[in-house]
């Protein structure tokens, strides 16, 4: 009997030991030792790899974690999940590689350089390629790529988080935020709603969820239409007659698909706008962008798939290199298609997309979560006017009225603080605020994490 007890204790200790060791082993498998072309002695840890979100179909999502530098104490910094939109566009291509990630890609598509305004100087940043079929994320059941929509994307992202925290238990109970831009204006609040609801009733939830931040966000179809057409007209991009035609022909979000008359009016608007970059109306478009000006199927027909600075091309070159994929522990199953910044299949066959996120925002505001929305004010795709109309529809009391915020004595943008929501504009920034105004975006992110209003003195 003594031996039985001894062996029972031994077996239990082995099992417990294995359960404790397993996440560490998984972490070490995901650790990035050195990316091709990476600068030396970067001073922070990186991890990347796959987390399975559905065993039956083999759906696995690819992530890239860039921790805060050791000198800044990553163990005391919050965790921020970053999501790009599309739908169908890669957070690795955009967020990580040309916006707030620690490395940007040189034009040769082979070497990297440090981003001085990388957000991992302030927090541990977790980039996620979502849903499956985007970037390196995949499903063994390829027919699934034609059936994604908002609901499953949010559910899979939540499953990813739960499983990821099991692999990285040191992040359990860490302050956690969700951030993103563009169509992540759907992803972020929908995922936030799931996290909030799952946390309700749990005394010590694993996910210590604090709030959300979204830039140039697709929020509410009615206000997105009204605000976008108004922006075009007030910025001299379309004629008076076309503006009137758009106001009459487009039904402002009452249906999933615009009418024939609306599509005709939009075609006229595109011709009148000419060869500009709608994502940043005052900067030169990258050459041969015309081929990339594809309308997104569905009810956002004026939106092409993603911002197209030339930096997008550098991502294509870099992430398709076999040695880069090996260093990232990516493409381990040998997917049958090249890595792309955006998936046409996922984007074009998107299934469900609610007309408005405003009901979710009301729920999150009532939950006293921290909510910040921001807008680059030179974006004609999801413009500042659209976001302002959406916020106005929430009918929130104003705490601090509209005011300029400053960076080194210069106006960086404007802000208004409402009860339950902070809105910030970034002056001169396009759709991808950290790409066009990296320093101002860094100040914005710091203020968000500190939950302090933007600096109001010059």
Which pair of structure tokens corresponds to residue 377?
């004010």
E-strand stretches of 293-397: 370-376
Q: Which of 116, 132, 112, 147 is nearest to 53 (CA)?
A: 132
What's the confidence (pLDDT) of residue 283?
86
CA distance 90 to 215: 16
Residues 6+ apart with CB under 8 A from 5: none
Q: In the 8-state DSSP scheme, what is residue 82?
A: E
Q: Which of 217, 147, 223 is nearest to 187 (CA)?
A: 217
What's the confidence (pLDDT) of residue 300?
52
E-strand stretches of 270-379: 370-376
What's the confidence (pLDDT) of residue 414?
98
Helix (H, G, I), strand (E, B) or coil at 53: strand
CA distance 37 to 216: 32
What's the confidence (pLDDT) of residue 302?
46
What's the confidence (pLDDT) of residue 204?
80
CA distance 443 to 236: 31
CA distance 352 to 14: 47
Residue found by looking up tokens 């040309």 in the block: 98
What's the confidence (pLDDT) of residue 305?
37
pTM of the model: 0.90
Q: How far is CA 103 from CA 36, 39, 120, 229, 328, in A?
A: 12, 9, 11, 36, 14
Buried/exposed code over 340-378 (b: 16+ C-beta within 10 A; e: otherwise): bbbbebbbebbeebeebbbebbeebbebebbbbbbbbbb
Provide the β-strand partners of residue 169.
none
Residues 6+ apart with CB under 8 A from 173: 204, 206, 208
Q: Using an 8 Å Cβ cutoff, are 212 and 364 in contact? A: yes
CA distance 32 to 37: 13
Helix (H, G, I), strand (E, B) or coil at 417: strand
What's the confidence (pLDDT) of residue 301?
53
Q: Using an 8 Å Cβ cutoff, are 138 and 54 in contact? A: no
Per-residue model confidence as pLDDT tens for the chain (458 residues): 333 333 333 333 334 444 444 778 889 999 999 999 999 989 999 999 999 999 999 999 999 999 999 999 999 999 999 999 999 999 999 999 999 999 999 989 999 999 999 999 999 999 999 999 999 999 999 899 999 999 999 999 999 999 999 999 999 999 999 999 999 999 999 999 999 999 998 878 889 999 999 999 999 999 999 999 999 999 999 999 999 999 999 876 666 677 899 999 999 999 999 999 899 999 887 764 433 333 333 445 545 433 445 778 899 999 999 999 999 999 998 888 899 999 999 999 999 999 999 999 999 999 999 999 999 999 999 999 999 999 999 999 999 999 999 999 999 999 999 999 999 999 999 999 999 999 999 999 999 999 999 999 86
What's the confidence (pLDDT) of residue 257?
74
CA distance 126 to 48: 9
What's the confidence (pLDDT) of residue 253?
60
Q: In terms of DSSP bridges, do strands 410-418 and 208-215 run parallel, antiparallel, or are they unpaired?
A: unpaired
CA distance 307 to 293: 10
* Catalytic residue annotation: 182, 379, 431
């Amino acid at each position: 009997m003594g031996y039985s007890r001894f062996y029972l204790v031994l077996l239990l200790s082995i099992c417990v030991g294995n359960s404790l060791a397993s996440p560490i082993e998984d972490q070490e498998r995901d650790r990035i030792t050195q990316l091709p072309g990476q600068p030396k002695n970067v001073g922070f840890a990186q991890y990347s790899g796959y987390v399975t979100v559905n065993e039956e179909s083999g759906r696995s999502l690819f992530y890239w974690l860039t921790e805060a530098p050791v000198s800044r104490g990553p163990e005391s910094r919050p965790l921020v999940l970053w999501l790009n939109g599309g739908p169908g566009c890669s957070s690795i291509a955009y967020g990580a590689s040309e916006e707030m990630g620690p490395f940007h890609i040189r034009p040769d598509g082979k070497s990297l350089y440090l981003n001085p305004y990388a957000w991992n100087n302030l927090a541990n940043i977790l980039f996620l390629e979502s849903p499956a079929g985007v970037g390196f994320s995949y499903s063994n059941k390829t027919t699934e790529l034609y059936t994604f929509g908002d609901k499953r994307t949010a559910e899979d992202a939540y499953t990813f988080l739960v499983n990821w925290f099991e692999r990285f238990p040191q992040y359990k109970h860490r302050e956690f935020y969700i951030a993103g831009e563009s169509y992540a204006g759907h992803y972020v609040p929908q995922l936030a709603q799931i996290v909030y609801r799952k946390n309700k009733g749990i005394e010590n939830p694993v996910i210590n969820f604090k709030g959300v931040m979204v830039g140039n966000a697709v929020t509410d179809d009615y206000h997105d239409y009204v605000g976008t057409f108004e922006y075009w007209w007030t910025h001299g991009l379309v004629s008076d007659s076309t503006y009137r035609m758009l106001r009459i022909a487009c039904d402002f979000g009452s249906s999933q698909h615009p009418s024939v008359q609306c599509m005709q009016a939009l075609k006229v608007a595109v011709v009148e706008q000419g060869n500009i970059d709608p994502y940043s109306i005052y900067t030169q478009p990258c050459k041969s962008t015309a081929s990339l000006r594809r309308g997104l199927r569905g009810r956002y027909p004026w939106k092409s798939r993603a911002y197209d600075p030339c930096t997008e091309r550098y991502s294509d070159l870099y992430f398709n290199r076999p040695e880069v994929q090996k260093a990232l522990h990516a493409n381990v199953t040998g997917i049958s298609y090249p890595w792309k910044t955006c998936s046409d299949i996922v984007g074009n066959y998107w299934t469900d997309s609610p007309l408005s996120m405003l009901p979710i925002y009301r729920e999150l505001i009532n939950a006293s979560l921290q909510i910040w929305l921001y807008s680059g004010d030179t974006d004609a795709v999801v413009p500042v006017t659209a976001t302002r109309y959406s916020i106005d529809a929430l009918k929130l009391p104003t705490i601090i009225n509209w005011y300029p915020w400053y960076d080194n004595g210069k106006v960086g943008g404007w802000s208004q603080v409402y009860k339950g929501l902070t809105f910030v504009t970034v002056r001169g920034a396009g759709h991808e605020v950290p790409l066009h105004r990296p320093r101002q975006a860094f100040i914005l992110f710091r203020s968000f994490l500190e939950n302090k209003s933007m600096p109001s003195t010059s």
